């Protein structure tokens, strides 16, 4: 028997668990998204494959895996196929420091918050490469939009996270979770309602969700940066988008909603409940609001969110010092 060091084994098991979790979540979220969209529009949503269409996402996944991978003429094939992998791989890393439960943290790293913020930033690079290497005007426009959007919204995102770091005095996600109590009035959202509001808007923009889905605006850019991708190239982008949604909602629930702490018995069930509740709100928002125009998108960020988050930060600092 080979003598593997213990942390390596732990990381390997964690990675396998996370990959399974991400894949399963992809299926569940696709189904949820389409069902909620259907019911909001007074129609049943997927209904034919399996009881109430529950096997529909599985059928879609099989279709995507089975499709031919086509590299468009004139595309830079190395960058073109590297892009979906660069988009998906950091999403997996972001799951490692998340404390799912009191004893369910894969890597107890003391800069977990920074790690997640840094690795989610890599997605911009992937989308940029995808748009640039596709040799397609829509892809390029989508990539250009994504970069200016992500760069703009990263600022209020970080500024809304800073007060939480001040309140809990740590960058470790587990310690941030445990610094909050079990009941809703002991959570950070009570002290930081504005911070939560700004954070939630920013994660909508960072994950390219409607109403901020300009990089893949269907009605204007066909599919934006992933217009040319077929089969699992598109599938990976899709999976990455849903993974980032989960990471973002997990961050929101750890930072503002007490993480795995919950009334009666704390545990991973509370964490998953909060994450899914936030995901459902995200889906609900998508099927309610129309897409914003690009100048509106940047106006919201530079004229409202950044000044508000700066004020929020200053006021929090003042109260902590007093």
Nearer residue to other proteins within complex by CB, 33 or 228: 33
Q: Does 269 engage in binding with other proteins (CB under 8 A)?
A: no
Nearer residue to other proteins within complex by CB, 46 or 259: 46
Smallest distance from other proteins to CB 44, Å: 6
DSSP 230-289: -HHHHHHHHHHHHHHHHHHHHHHHHHTS-TT--SSS-SHHHHHHHHHHHHHHHHHHHTTS
Stretch that binds other proteins, among 63-71, 144-152, 262-270, 287-295 (CB under 8 A): 287-295
Biggest CA pair distance of the chain: 64
Smallest distance from other proteins to CB 49, Å: 14
Sites for other proteins among residues 112-151 (CB under 8 A): none
8: number of Cβ within 10 Å:
9
Q: Tell which residue, 183, 173, 168, 164, has the closest CA to residue 104.
A: 173
Q: Does 284 engage in binding with other proteins (CB under 8 A)?
A: yes
Q: In whole angstroms, what is the distance from residue 83 CA to residue 85 CA?
A: 5
Q: Are 113 and 167 in contact (CB under 8 A)?
A: no
70: number of Cβ within 10 Å:
12
Sites for other proteins among residues 291-310 (CB under 8 A): 304
Q: In whole angstroms, what is the distance from residue 54 CA to residue 64 CA?
A: 17
Smallest distance from other proteins to CB 322, Å: 27
Stretch that binds other proteins, among 19-27, 56-64, 146-154, 279-287 (CB under 8 A): 279-287
Q: Does 285 engage in binding with other proteins (CB under 8 A)?
A: yes
Distance from the Cα of residue 34 to its chain's centroid: 18
Site string for other proteins, 30-49 (x = CB under 8 A): ------x--xxxxxx--x--
Distance from the Cα of residue 287 to its chain's centroid: 18
Site string for other proteins, 61-100 (x = CB under 8 A): ----------------------------------------
For residue 126, give every residue at least 6 positions away whose Cβ sits within 8 Å of its Cβ, in sequence order, or none.
83, 84, 86, 87, 240
Q: In whole angstroms, what is the distance from residue 201 CA to residue 281 CA?
A: 12
Nearer residue to other proteins within complex by CB, 269 or 284: 284
Smallest distance from other proteins to CB 247, Å: 24
Nearer residue to other proteins within complex by CB, 10 or 41: 41
Q: In whole angstroms, what is the distance from residue 46 CA to residue 43 CA?
A: 9
Size of interface with other proteins, in residues (CB under 8 A): 14
Smallest distance from other proteins to CB 305, Å: 12
Binding site for other proteins (CB under 8 A): 36, 39-44, 47, 284-285, 287-289, 304
């Amino acid at each position: 028997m080979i003598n593997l060091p213990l942390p390596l084994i732990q990381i390997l098991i964690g990675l396998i668990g996370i990959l399974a979790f991400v894949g399963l979540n992809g299926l569940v979220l696709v189904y949820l998204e389409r069902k909620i969209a259907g019911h909001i529009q007074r129609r049943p949503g997927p209904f034919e494959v399996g009881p109430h269409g529950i096997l529909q996402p599985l059928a879609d996944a099989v279709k995507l895996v089975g499709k031919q991978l086509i590299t468009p003429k004139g595309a830079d094939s190395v960058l073109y196929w590297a892009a979906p992998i660069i988009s998906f791989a950091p999403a997996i890393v972001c799951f490692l420091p998340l404390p799912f439960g009191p004893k369910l943290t894969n890597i107890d790293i003391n800069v977990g918050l920074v790690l997640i913020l840094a690795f989610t930033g890599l997605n911009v690079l992937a989308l940029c490469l995808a748009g640039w290497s596709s040799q397609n005007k829509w892809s390029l426009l989508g990539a250009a939009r994504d970069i200016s959007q992500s760069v703009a919204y990263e600022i209020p995102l970080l500024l809304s996270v800073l007060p939480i770091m001040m309140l809990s005095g740590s960058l470790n996600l587990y310690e941030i979770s445990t610094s909050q109590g079990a009941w809703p009035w002991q959570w950070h959202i009570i002290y930081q309602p504005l911070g939560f509001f700004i954070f939630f808007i920013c994660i909508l923009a960072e994950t390219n969700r409607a109403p901020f889905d300009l990089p893949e605006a269907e009605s204007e850019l066909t599919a934006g940066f992933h217009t040319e991708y077929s089969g699992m190239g598109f599938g990976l982008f899709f999976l990455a988008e849903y993974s980032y949604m989960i990471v973002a909602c997990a961050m929101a629930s750890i930072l503002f909603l007490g993480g795995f702490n919950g009334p009666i018995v704390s545990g991973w069930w509370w964490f998953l409940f909060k994450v899914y509740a936030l995901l459902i709100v995200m889906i609900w928002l998508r099927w309610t609001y129309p897409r914003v125009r690009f100048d509106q998108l940047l106006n919201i960020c530079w004229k409202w969110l950044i000044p508000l988050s700066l004020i929020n930060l200053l006021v929090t600092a003042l109260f902590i010092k007093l």
